[in-house]
Amino acid sequence: MASLGMLGKKVGMTQIFDNVGMAIPVTILEVGPCTITKINNKQLNKYNSIQIGYDYINPDKLTKPIIGIFKKLKLPCFKYLKEYKTSSYKTDNLNIGQVLTVKELKIGNLINISGISIGKGFSGYQKRHHFSRGPMSHGSKNHKQPGSIGAGTTPGRVFPGKKMAGRMGGKKVTIQNLEILDINTKDNIIIIKGSVPGKNGNILYIYQK
């Protein structure tokens, strides 16, 4: 199924062993179930897309306009909504209220996963941009200082985008071509090879190629 998009959570990382005995680092994800809440056709919106809802939530925690939307669709309330644009997905075969599960995925397929990376706080040059340090010998006063930033009388300012100390992490990161090693349809669990952004319990956006 092409251009499939789903939501899930990161459970954690571990390792498994293949037939030869080699250790493979893997990440365990809890994916879905997701419910289709909206279908956009190319004729009306100039593109095809589906909107899915994930993680049921108490209506008391939502505003009345949002609750009204779910009531109109005769659907339960969801904490997360995500729209996936698609050009090849056949929206004719989809219905609002249809549930998507890990059964839509297959072992061996490659997926892209996006999430918010772990925030590292205010970090220096070496940690944030992998700058080399200054000499550590006696008398040196430039161990981890930034040094010249290249701005003098002309232009009299620092150019935007200059690599300097600042807040690190907490940004959207996408890891491509992650292989699905195993699927547990009973518990909505998939095991993928490698790591994904974010801490345990982080919301992830999953795209199937």
Per-residue pLDDT of 107-118, as tens digits, reads 988 999 999 999
Q: Which CATH architecture has domain 5-121+171-208?
A: Beta Barrel (2.40)
Q: How far apart are CA 109 and CA 66, in angstroms?
A: 36
Q: Is the pLDDT of residue 164 over 50?
A: yes
What are the sequence ranges of the domains in the chain?
Answer: 5-121+171-208, 122-168
Q: What Å distances lie between residue 15 and 37, 108, 207, CA to CA?
A: 36, 17, 23
Q: What Å distances lie between residue 40 and 92, 96, 104, 187, 194, CA to CA?
A: 10, 11, 21, 30, 34
Stronger pLDDT, 122 or 88, i.e. the higher one: 122
Put simply, whether the predicted model's pTM sits higher than 0.95 gets the answer no
Confidence of residue 1 (pLDDT cuts 50, 70, 90): very low
- 27 three-state secondary structure: strand
